[in-house]
Chains A and B, each alone.
Chain A
């Protein structure tokens, strides 16, 4: 099956610093990537939809200037958490959509990145 990787798998950073998370589709071209966030005991919440070569579309309540998304190629999207604060500590998961497949299985999830801000 299709593989999506994320890097790093976990990161600890100090409050006020920025953290970049990479999401890569390893064996397919992902025209669309989705970034989700999951707090403990809660569901995955979509943060933004990223289309290659264009600006990301953010969900209501997600600060676009704080969560910078770049989707410069068909295999890589990055999420940068700027000026991180402890409340940004969460599990960040990306998914990538293989637009060449017209099936409901076309979205594949990365393994997630656990961010802890101290």
Chain B
């Protein structure tokens, strides 16, 4: 079983749509959680951290459920520029800061 699992997609949505990505992780001792965005042939860029209380950054809302070991990302009012691969990332506790990446979910927003 992969340590971090995501639906690879692709998700093809029209502009203005709301889209949700899900992610599960296997290591209950994981410390921190993130969503990264990766554009084609580029490095990943931090989109937002994920907290149990839920957090929002503009059109993006992230949620963490530690009991279910489940992470989500909601994008409202999708823009063409949101087209990218979204990576669910987990940082295990006490492993020197290494990050474990999910496979990524590809999003394509169409006009």
Interface residues of A (CB under 8 A from B): 32, 34, 36, 41-46, 49, 51, 57, 91, 93, 95, 97, 104-107, 109-112, 114
Contact = CB atoms under 8 A, between A and B. Distances in A.
Contacts of A95: 99
Q: Main SS of the interface on chain B?
A: loop
Contacts of B101: 36, 43-45
Interface stretch (B11-19, B39-47, B55-63): B39-47
Given A104-B34, A104-B49, A104-B91, A34 B42 contact: no
Interface string B91-104: 10000111111111
Given A46-B98, A107-B99, A112 B91 contact: no
Contacts of A109: 43-45
Interface residues of B, number: 22
A92 to B, nearest CB: 11
B42 A43 contact: no
Contacts of A57: 96
18 contacts: A32-B97, A34-B98, A42-B103, A43-B101, A43-B102, A46-B100, A49-B96, A91-B41, A93-B44, A104-B34, A105-B46, A106-B97, A107-B97, A107-B99, A109-B43, A109-B44, A112-B41, A112-B43
Most A CB atoms within 10 A — which of B98, B99, B100, B101? B98
A46 B101 CA distance: 9
